Amino acid sequence: MSTQAAPATPDIEFLFDFGSPNAYLCHKVIPQMQARLQTRVVYVPVLLGGLFKLANNRSPMEAYGSIPTKLAYQRLEMQRFIRKHNLTAFKHNPHFPVNTLKIMRGALAAKRLGVFEHYVDVVYAAMWEQGLNMADDAVIADTLNAAGIDAAAIAALSQEADVKAELVANTEAAHARGAFGSPSFFVGNELYFGKDRLREVEEEFLAQRRG
């Protein structure tokens, strides 16, 4: 009988910021991925603006602003993804780009309060289905309270030094591992960027699990 240990199941990490519409689209299809792979995807909050600065990166609107056909193709690919996965609730946020610092700190606060998954669902819906300005304190509070999340507790905990430091640390660690934007995925130490790499994420997970 072989004494060789079974291969360890690798982690799939999803580095996300609520400000990315493509990260929202990934979020909506991750449950299907989890069901197929019989695993859990680990959500890692990062601050996209901070990651852009560290990586000397820019948003597609800035980077390709002088290439209208490139921007048009990106919109086409987004619509194809939406149709493929029937994500009909998605709509462009009229306040885009939204400063997400408060809601990203809020995600870490929500994790400590045991409401992380619900918080993520609620905030993503507010951003990319309801088109709300989730940089506004009153809008954030109304949105969370309406969903049964204690907005005051989230806001208070978001101001704690260790919560702020954790978001910075997550963002710096993402950059150190080679990430430059969101949505990014790590399968073990393998980096994949963008919603168009989800199939490769699954393939890499299965390959690593087989060992």
| Residue 164, domain extent | 12-210
pLDDT of residue 61: 67
Give 89-93's long-range contacts (Cβ < 8 A, gap of 24+).
89/125, 89/129, 90/21, 90/24, 90/25, 90/28, 90/128, 90/129, 91/128, 91/129, 91/131, 92/21, 92/131, 93/21, 93/127, 93/128, 93/131, 93/132
Is 5 contained in some domain? no
Is 152 contained in some domain? yes
Instruction: Name the domain count of the chain.
Output: 1
pLDDT of residue 8: 65
Say what angle helices 161-176 and 151-158 make with each other, to 10 degrees: 70
Residue 36 burial by CB count (10 A; 0-12/13-18/19+): exposed, middle or buried? exposed
Q: Count Cβ atoms below 10 Å from residue 162 Cβ, excluding itself.
A: 10
Is 3 contained in some domain? no
Per-residue buried b or exposed e for 46-57, using 16+ beta carbons within 10 Å of the residue's own CB: bbbbbbbebeee
Asked whether residue 7 carries a pLDDT value surpassing 80, the answer given is no
Is 168 contained in some domain? yes
Is 2 contained in some domain? no
Is 4 contained in some domain? no
Helix-, strand-, coil-residue percentages of the chain, each rounded to 5: 60, 10, 35
Radius of gyration of the chain from its Cα atoms, rounded to whole angstroms = 18
For residue 163, what is the domain's CATH number? 3.40.30.10
Is 36 contained in some domain? yes
Average pLDDT, the chain: 93
* pLDDT tens figures, 187-203: 999 999 999 999 999 99
Is 51 contained in some domain? yes
- Average pLDDT estimate for 131-136: 98
* pLDDT tens figures, 43-52: 999 999 999 9
d(CA 65, CA 127): 23
Asked whether residue 109 carries a pLDDT value surpassing 80, the answer given is yes
pTM for the whole structure: 0.91
Per-residue buried b or exposed e for 98-130, using 16+ beta carbons within 10 Å of the residue's own CB: bebbbbbbbbbbbbeeebbeebbebbbbbbbbe
Give the pLDDT band (50/70/90) at residue 63. low
d(CA 72, CA 125): 25
Give the pLDDT band (50/70/90) at residue 152. very high
pLDDT of residue 144: 98
